[in-house]
Structure 1
Amino acid sequence: MTIPTTAAPPSRWVRFRDSYLLHSFRRDLIAQISLLIFIVMVAAAVLAPWISPTDPYDLAQIDILSSELPPFWIDGSDPYYLLGTDAQGRDLLSTILYGTRVSLIIGFGAVFLQALLGVCFGLMAGYLGGRVDAFLMRLADIQLSFSTLMVAIIVGALVKAIFGGATFSDYAVPLLVVIIGLAEWPQYARTVRASVLAEKSKEYVDAARIMGLKSRRIMFRHILPNTLSPIFVISTVQIANAIISEAALSFLGLGMPETQPSLGSLIKSGFDYIQSGSWWITLLPGAVLVVLVLVINLLGDWLRDVLNPRLYKN
């Protein structure tokens, strides 16, 4: 007599291959194109030190006599500078690659800080309730009453006034990550709190309490994994918002200095030269910024539709 054997559970790769997420992605051409463009832009930004024609941080490679050269398709261009040069004589292609990397670092770093603060505060507010919930949510309401850009401008101006412009320039990237991150955490906190309120009344939470598990373990090991879907959706939108906030702050003079290229500082550096005919100094980085934000938002819209259980179809 043979003992029947149970089939081995499918591997993670098999579950992912047969998942609705991958099935939906294969059917959505816009999502595929957006992801491809995003991967290319991220790869180009990461590999900027190796694929850029010049180093915009190296003063020895900057020729002021070659300033404001047009892109290769316009008469008077230099074949060495494919996208032309800016007012300082820097190769515009190189500055865009380095600037995209800085903008992505600030965007991802700020969203990580937002998620860290928002998830922790949202978990505590939703699970503990009472005065903790009232205090954290009133704090979030106060911050949400101001626009993100306004909060970032106020904090950025205070930091510059206290530490000085030179110090701000030396630590511009981490300071902008903190400024933009602190301005947007209520978005995560309110969303996580709503999810926790729906989860904490379920049976598995009651069972964890009966087993004597501590509140911290219940929140982070049991409730948090069931609230990840809205967090992922918010993160895609917030990355785009953080990149736009950095560009806006840099354009207003409260972000990255012109000597440290980001997409925002590049747009600002060429704004005064548009009417003189050197439109490419501003418009080309601006076009890269628009494409980057657009593909991130398109991926966020697709992810929101896929992770929405009301839209799930067999």
Structure 2
Amino acid sequence: MSAVSTAPSRWERFKQSDFLYYFLRDKVAMSSFAVFLLFVIVAISSPWIAPTNPYDLSSIDIMDAELPPSWMEGGNEHFWLGTDEQGRDIFSTILYGSRLSLTIGFLAVGLQLILGIVIGLSAGYFGGRIDSFLMRFADIQLSFSTMMVAIIVSAIFKASFGGEFFSQYAVVMLVVIIGVAEWPQYARTVRASVLAEKKKEYVEAARVMGFKAPRIMFRHILPNCLSPILVISTVQVANAIMSEAALSFLGLGLPVDQPSLGSLISIGFTYIFSGAWWITAFPGAVLVLLVLVINLLGDWLRDVFNPKIYKG
């Protein structure tokens, strides 16, 4: 009797895939992924590895305000990167700020995904007036920048519920603002993929078998549209983090007592000309590095999923 051949597992198929092959050959992609993974691990572990807790007022001493980094004259060995104007450890606030910025970035992109996929699938699959209405709505949405939406929404909420309410729910508000402002990017991408996929034979076969539209859209068409969604997601995470930083810098984002990378840069900007450059410089460098590695990963994914331009 011949031995029954077993299908390879998902892990075996992944190890033999072109995706992993190209990834292991690309040093820039590997380096970017390693740095990004380090960011995520450090951000998650910040409550355990940070020397101090910037949220704990008992650990803050105003007498330690604006101390330079430990290797400079006047520095303290307990504060590696110096302190801010409140006496908080810059290194600890960067760790906590990275976690908050990444959290807002991922949650905002998650909201964009949900809205963009549902609207893009509906517009591409049904077509006609539904497509025209949804895409015109997306065009109107794109005419408003994230900053404009943030200003309008924050003004409405502050006038209706007060500044204390907005500060308490600032993270949720930023996720909603950035998510609502950027969903058309996903909707347009998904719609374009659906228009190409819905003409294929497997979709016609699903219709003949009597499957309802939601099942055809989400069970059959959507899995074949994941490649462009994955590519745009990496770019959108970087954009969401930059949007949060910009809004916080303008005073429309997180309050002072919730240290994100953007709020740290905003706090330190007023002190940069007084000599306390480290309050802004170190959070700014971390933000630039984080956005850079995410964008490099996004560029690599775009090239891999487009074999016509990828040269390995």
In the superposition, the TM-score normalised over structure 1's length comes to 0.96
Alignment of 1:117-136 (within 5 A): 117-136=115-134
Q: Who is 1:70 aligned against?
A: 68
Give 1:174 shift.
0.9
State the distance in 2 between where 1:31 and 1:73 align.
33
Please give the per-residue CA displacement for 1:52-87, whole angstroms capped at 9, x wherever unaligned.
Answer: 111101110000000000011211100000110000
Give 1:313 shift.
7.2
Runs of at least 5 residues in structure 2 that lack an aligned partner in the other structure? none
Indicate yes or no: 2:271 matched with 1:269: no
Give 1:47 shift.
0.6
State the distance in 1 between where 2:168 and 2:300 align.
38
Asked if the contact 2:144/2:181 (under 8 Å) is kept, the reply is no
Q: Who is 2:19 aligned against?
A: 21
Give 1:311 shift.
4.0
Q: Who is 1:84 aligned against?
A: 82
Letter in 1 for 2:243: S
Q: Who is 1:172 aligned against?
A: 170
Give 1:144 shift.
1.1
State the distance in 2 between where 1:30 and 1:161 align.
48
Q: Who is 2:48 aligned against?
A: 50
Spell out structure 1 runs of 4+ moving beyond 3 A.
Answer: 311-314
State the distance in 2 between where 1:36 and 1:244 align.
21
State the distance in 2 between where 1:103 and 1:313 align.
34
Compare 225-234 and 6-15 and name the one that shifted more: 6-15
Q: Who is 1:244 aligned against?
A: 242
Alignment of 1:221-240 (within 5 A): 221-240=219-238
State the distance in 1 between where 2:145 and 2:170 align.
21
Aligned to 1:32, which of 15, 30, 33? 30
State the distance in 2 between where 1:312 and 1:78 align.
50
Please give the per-residue CA displacement for 1:162-215, whole angstroms capped at 9, x wherever unaligned.
Answer: 222111111111111011000000000011001001010110000000000000
Asked if the contact 1:156/1:179 (under 8 Å) is kept, the reply is no
Give 1:233 shift.
0.4
Q: Secondary structure at the match of 1:138?
A: helix
Alignment of 1:160-309 (within 5 A): 160-309=158-307
Asked if the contact 2:84/2:90 (under 8 Å) is kept, the reply is yes
Compare 244-253 and 5-14 and name the one that shifted more: 5-14
Letter in 2 for 1:51: I
Please give the per-residue CA displacement for 1:120-161, whole angstroms capped at 9, x wherever unaligned.
Answer: 000000101122111110000011123233223332332233
> Number of matched residues?
312
Aligned to 1:98, which of 96, 99, 102? 96
State the distance in 2 between where 1:20 and 1:250 align.
41
In the superposition, the TM-score normalised over structure 2's length comes to 0.97
State the distance in 1 between where 2:15 and 2:280 align.
43
Alignment of 1:137-176 (within 5 A): 137-176=135-174
Please give the per-residue CA displacement for 1:282-308, whole angstroms capped at 9, x wherever unaligned.
Answer: 111011000000000001111111111
State the distance in 2 between where 1:241 and 1:157 align.
23
Give 1:21 shift.
0.7
Asked if the contact 1:157/1:254 (under 8 Å) is kept, the reply is no
Letter in 2 for 1:295: V
Give 1:6 shift.
5.0
Letter in 2 for 1:279: W
Letter in 2 for 1:239: V
Asked if the contact 1:256/1:262 (under 8 Å) is kept, the reply is yes
Asked if the contact 2:70/2:80 (under 8 Å) is kept, the reply is yes
Give 1:30 shift.
0.8
Runs of at least 5 residues in structure 1 that lack an aligned partner in the other structure? none
State the distance in 1 between where 2:298 and 2:147 align.
21
Percentage of matched positions with identical amino acids: 68
State the distance in 1 between where 2:43 and 2:154 align.
26
Asked if the contact 2:146/2:177 (under 8 Å) is kept, the reply is no
State the distance in 1 between where 2:269 and 2:311 align.
49
